[in-house]
Structure 1
């Protein structure tokens, strides 16, 4: 009679082990899915931020163009930014002229 009880105990233990393994696999699966979702969302946010930066750059370029053409005047606190852009434009022109000289030589 002891054999069937031992067999029942083995079945119960195996069933318990299988149940715990299923739970562990389910937790791992959930963690993988969550990590994948987080990764995808981080990439999506980064791409949207990059697109936003490009839109800001286009907006700034258009505003600067309108200021230079006299179509728009900006509040005085923005003057340093306009001056910085003008200064950089002059530096770029100087460097491009020097590059043209060196390439032509």
Structure 2
């Protein structure tokens, strides 16, 4: 028996479609792998940058402490940076004092309210009578 030419053509078209889909899947997989590799590289770069920034911050803090203690003297070119750090410290201290004051005021208000509520039933005045 000879194969039906319509079935052979349909089989050939199906085979071509399958091969095309396989090729597209391979390309898609390669693109996904490339993007994943790029994402890993960027994440690693960000981690390294964060590590570097932390090291610089720690170095700066250590140098600043040494300058404050008088163990290290920097050239006058660093004066604006030192002044900026000192101003930032003063702002942080003022903010901390303000927060402390607000907390203290809240605590005092809470104490007054607590005392008022505890002594509220003993005013020495007879309670009002309700009208029926």
**Is TM (by shorter chain) over 0.5?**
yes
* Higher RCO (Cα < 8 Å, 6 or more apart): 1
**What's the offset of the Cα at 1:36?**
1.4
Deviations along 1:23-47, whole A, 9 cap, x unmatched? 1110011111111111222122112
Paired residues, what number? 105
For 1:14-53, list aligned pairs within 5 A: 14-53=14-53
User: Aligned to 1:71, what secondary structure does the other structure show?
Assistant: coil
Relative to structure 2, which stretch is displaced further, 41-50 or 5-14? 5-14
TM-score (norm 1): 0.81
Give the C-alpha shift of residue 4 in structure 1: 4.9
Instruction: Please identify which structure carries the higher helix content.
Output: 1
TM-score (norm 2): 0.67
Distance (whole Å) between structure 2 residues aligned to residue 103 and residue 17 of structure 1: 73
CA RMSD of aligned residues (A): 2.2
CA deviation string 1:22-73 (max 9, x = no partner): 1111001111111111122212211221222111111111111111111112
Structure 1 pair 8/102, CA: closer, same or farther in 2 (3 Å)? Answer: closer
Q: Give the stretch that moved more between structures: 78-87 or 49-58.
A: 49-58
Structure 1, unmatched stretches of 5+, are none
* 1:57 match: 57
Deviations 1:52-95 (A, max 9, x none): 21111111111111111111122222110001101111222222
Q: What is the match of residue 92 of structure 1?
A: 92
- Quote the Cα distance in structure 2 between the aligned partners of 1:12 and 1:81: 76
Q: Who is 1:69 aligned against?
A: 69
